[in-house]
């Protein structure tokens, strides 16, 4: 599981066993240093081409020193804002050929959203609270 990192991300909120992170926006060297020190299992950092270009030189130097693997990725689209358990429940109900209206009545999720979830159930990222989690 990959965790999205932003400028305001607090290193204390990350699990210690985090192996992959995705930098949504450039972060300061101090923040990244705290993340690297806390997450000993951290091996890969993915980011977009534009984020890499805007990354401060000190931060790039720190990544080279720590021998972090940088992957340039383009992950487009908004993260799905429904919990993973609820999303899996909706998809299973639809696989059992239950009508969209019935699923809507049971779960409280609008039928158009149910249709969207089923159609795009292969998405790579979802929202977990305020955080974005990558499912790769």
Average pLDDT taken over every residue of the chain: 83
| Residue closest to 45 by CA, chosen among 29, 27, 68, 75 | 68
Q: pLDDT tens across 10-61, in order? A: 888 888 888 888 888 888 888 888 888 888 888 888 888 888 898 888 888 8
pTM: 0.58
Q: Over 60: is that where the pLDDT of 136 sits?
A: no
Q: How far is CA 4 from the centre of its chain?
A: 5
User: Alpha-carbon distance 95 to 97, whole Å?
Assistant: 5
Q: Tell me, what's the pLDDT at 131?
A: 75
How many C-beta atoms lie closer than 10 Å to residue 70's C-beta?
Answer: 15
């Amino acid at each position: 599981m990959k965790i999205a990192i932003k400028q305001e991300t607090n290193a204390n909120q990350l699990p210690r066993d985090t192996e992959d992170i995705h930098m949504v926006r450039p972060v300061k060297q101090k923040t990244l240093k705290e993340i690297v020190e806390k997450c000993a299992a951290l091996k890969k950092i993915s980011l977009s081409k534009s984020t890499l270009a805007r990354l401060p030189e000190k931060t790039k130097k720190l990544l080279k020193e720590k021998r972090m693997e940088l992957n340039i990725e383009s992950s487009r689209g908004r993260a799905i804002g429904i919990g993973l358990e609820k999303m899996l429940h909706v998809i299973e109900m639809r696989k059992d050929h239950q009508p969209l209206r019935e699923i809507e009545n049971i779960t409280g999720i609008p039928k158009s959203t149910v249709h969207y979830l089923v159609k795009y159930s292969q998405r790579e990222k979802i929202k977990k609270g305020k955080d974005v989690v990558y499912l790769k």
